[in-house]
Amino acid sequence: MSEEEVIYLLKILEVGLLASVKFLLAPFEAERYGFNFRDAFLITTTGGITGIIAFTFIGHGIAYGWKKIKEIFKKKTTSLPEPTKKFTRTNKFIVKIKMNFGLWGLVITTPSMISIPVGAIVINHFYIKKIRNVMLLILSLLAWSILLNGLAQYLSLSQYLHLPKH
């Protein structure tokens, strides 16, 4: 395998991994690397779907592990008062979406505004039908993928970047 082929595969891997966690950025990264709409759509969509499936089915384990870790540290520091829960802007946004729009609001905002890991974990915490949740998230991801990849290709922002040639 030549060096150029390895670099090309690494670019695909980078964009796919980015799409699996923060989908909003992935189509613009794909355009920056020179992928056309079709390739960018396939890479970002595949990465996003992989993230949805992974965080849906391992998200419960992550949440359980995080809870256990917190319990361990809580036992070690029993003399300290329990800290108040921090309500970040992101937490407020997620709660507001859930309260006002329910499952559909969370599904629509997960690929773009929330992140795929956080959105999948939150959705599967409140709504237990995992297969339905995955299907809805994938439909939302497909719509966002078409929109964002189209926008990235249309705007062609990489033309304004002055990056060194490889």
Q: Model confidence over 41-72: pLDDT tens digits?
A: 999 999 999 999 999 988 778 778 888 887 88
Q: Model confidence over 15-34: pLDDT tens digits?
A: 999 999 999 999 999 999 99
Query: What's the average model confidence in pLDDT over 143-156?
Result: 96
DSSP letters for 120-133? HHHHHHH---HHHH
Provide the whole-model pTM.
0.83
Please report how many Cα atoms fall inside a 13 Å half-sphere around the Cα of residue 120, on the Cβ side: 31
Across all residues in the chain, what is the average pLDDT? 90
pLDDT value at residue 157: 84
